């Protein structure tokens, strides 16, 4: 594959560092306004400025999500916010609302505009309309097939870039525009507060039979009928490129830094052709996920039936590497592990390296059989050199 952009989520500083270290060409993040994720995944003023500086120092671009549909009272804040993002050095803003697009173009015409997948752009006429309004890129609707993307590419200017999601959570609503959470909990998915009711377990009940539950599908008495599969396109990146996609986007601004590092590392190595595909498939089993699917790219979702809403993972993140010297790893424990466990080191651009925990020692020199305390600094013997920013994980099962 030629020059393609790997675009990674950055929900917080730790995830930003992981995305950059493990090979993202660009990151997307949210600021204080209209960013379509919960406030805990937002970068405030100075934090956003620093995030942009950090990414640029590593040669990566930064796109700021401003992609909620704006309310009347929010429009007046857009011009000042756009100018702040411009002055902070943001490379682009991601928008879905036409009013927001217009306000940004007036206030900060230097800012590159990317059209969010929330705008549900799935045909060449819509893409051209956005291009005529000043958009540099369209993030395609997730419901498009490879053939539809290829036709859209043929009928739009080459200067209009195409971005598509390749990995992460999918929503049962069209391009993520859902109001179930708003209706059931008062928390709007369109304002970054989704309670994810599509992943709850459901059964039917009948008015005259209170307390009696009837399964919608035979699945141990219930079904998570609204829960979608997660997206995984590690096998079809060449097909997406052939269709005209030049930016491969990973979902996950609410995910952990370990998740971001693992997924970015796998897709980076796939794009670079530096690892066998079987190994990369296995790597993507190492993070918590629902059953995988290639989404709509091959057409009707024949393999995309309702699932039980449960997550699986073959590895559990146990610690951050702080350093390595004299055959010992210095680490910050994040999840429980014990003597005798086989751990793996996740480093950028290479296969995981395994070793068995022979001993655990605290900073005070105390010997331990188990490491149960999050954030405790520990030392374990390890034959493999590792660097700060690497991740440690423990195998839990074969998926």
Distance CA 352, CA 391 (A): 10
Asked whether the beta carbons of 253 and 41 are under 8 A apart, the reply is: yes
Please, is 239 exposed, middle or buried when counting C-beta atoms within 10 Å of its C-beta (0-12, 13-18, 19+)? Answer: middle
Judge: domain 5-170+228-293, CATH 2.60.40.1180: no
Residue 242 has pLDDT above 70, yes or no: yes
In the CATH scheme, what architecture does the domain 315-395 have?
Answer: Beta Barrel (2.40)
| Mean pLDDT (whole number) for 364-390 | 97
> Which residues contact residue 46 at a Cβ distance below 8 angstroms, ignoring those fewer than 6 apart?
none
CA angle 200, 229, 285 (to 5 degrees): 110
CB 272 within 8 A of CB 266: no
Give 39's pLDDT tier (boundaries 50, 70, 90).
low
**Nearby residues of 396 by Cβ (< 8 Å), 6 or more positions away:** 313, 314, 315, 316
Classify the C-alpha dihedral 237-242-246-252 as positive or negative.
negative
Query: Domain segments of the chain: what residues?
Result: 5-170+228-293, 174-214, 315-395
Q: Which residues are 304's β-sheet partners?
A: none
Span 316-359, pLDDT tens digits = 999 999 999 999 999 999 999 999 999 999 999 999 999 999 99
Tell me how far apart the alpha carbons of residues 122 and 112 are, in angstroms, rounded to a whole number.
21
| Count of CB atoms situated within 10 Å of the CB of 4 | 17
Q: What is the pLDDT of residue 216?
A: 63
User: What is the model's pLDDT at position 42?
Assistant: 82
Q: Report the pLDDT value the prediction gives residue 218, as an integer from 0 to 100.
A: 47
Q: What is the phi/psi pair of residue 10, to 5°?
A: -140, 95
Q: Packing angle between helix 277-284 and helix 257-272, nearest 10 degrees?
A: 170
Q: How confident is the model at residue 399 (pLDDT cuts 50, 70, 90)?
A: very low
CA distances from 355 to 265, 315, 381 (A): 20, 14, 9
Q: Which residues contact 220 (CB under 8 A, 6 or more apart)?
A: none
């Amino acid at each position: 594959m030629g020059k393609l952009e790997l675009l990674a989520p950055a929900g917080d500083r730790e995830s930003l560092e992981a995305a950059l270290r493990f090979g993202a060409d660009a990151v997307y993040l949210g600021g204080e306004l209209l960013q379509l994720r919960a406030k805990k995944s937002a970068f405030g003023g100075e934090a956003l400025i620093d995030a942009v500086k950090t990414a640029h120092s590593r040669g990566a671009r930064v796109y700021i999500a401003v992609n909620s549909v704006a309310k009347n009272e929010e429009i007046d804040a857009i011009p000042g916010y756009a100018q702040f993002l411009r002055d902070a050095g943001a490379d682009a803003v991601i928008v879905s609302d036409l009013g927001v697009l217009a306000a940004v173009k007036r206030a900060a015409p230097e800012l590159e505009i990317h059209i969010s997948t929330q705008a549900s752009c799935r045909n060449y006429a819509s893409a051209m309309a956005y291009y005529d309004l000043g958009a540099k890129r369209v993030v395609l609707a997730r419901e498009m097939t490879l053939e539809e993307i290829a036709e859209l590419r043929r009928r739009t200017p080459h200067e209009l870039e195409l971005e598509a999601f390749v990995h992460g959570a999918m929503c049962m609503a069209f391009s993520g525009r859902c109001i179930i959470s708003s209706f059931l909990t008062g928390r709007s998915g369109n304002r970054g507060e989704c309670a994810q009711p599509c992943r709850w377990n459901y059964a039917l009940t009948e008015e005259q039979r209170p307390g009696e539950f009837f399964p919608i599908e035979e699945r141990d008495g219930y079904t998570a009928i609204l829960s979608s599969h997660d997206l995984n396109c590690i096998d079809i990146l060449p097909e997406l490129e052939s269709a005209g996609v030049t930016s491969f986007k990973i979902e996950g601004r609410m995910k952990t830094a370990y998740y971001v590092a693992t997924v970015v590392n796998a897709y980076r190595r796939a794009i670079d052709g530096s690892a066998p595909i079987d190994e990369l498939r296995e790597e993507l089993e190492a993070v918590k996920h629902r059953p995988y699917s290639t989404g709509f790219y091959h057409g009707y979702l024949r393999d995309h039936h309702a699932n039980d809403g449960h997550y699986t993972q073959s590895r559990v993140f146990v610690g951050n590497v702080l350093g390595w010297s004299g055959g010992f790893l210095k680490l910050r424990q994040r999840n429980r592990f014990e003597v005798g466990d086989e751990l793996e080191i996740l480093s950028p651009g290479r296969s995981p390296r395994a070793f068995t925990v022979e001993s655990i020692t605290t900073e005070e020199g105390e010997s331990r059989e188990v490491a149960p305390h999050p954030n405790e600094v520990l030392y374990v013997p390890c034959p493999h050199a590792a660097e700060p920013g690497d991740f440690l994980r423990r195998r839990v099962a074969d998926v």
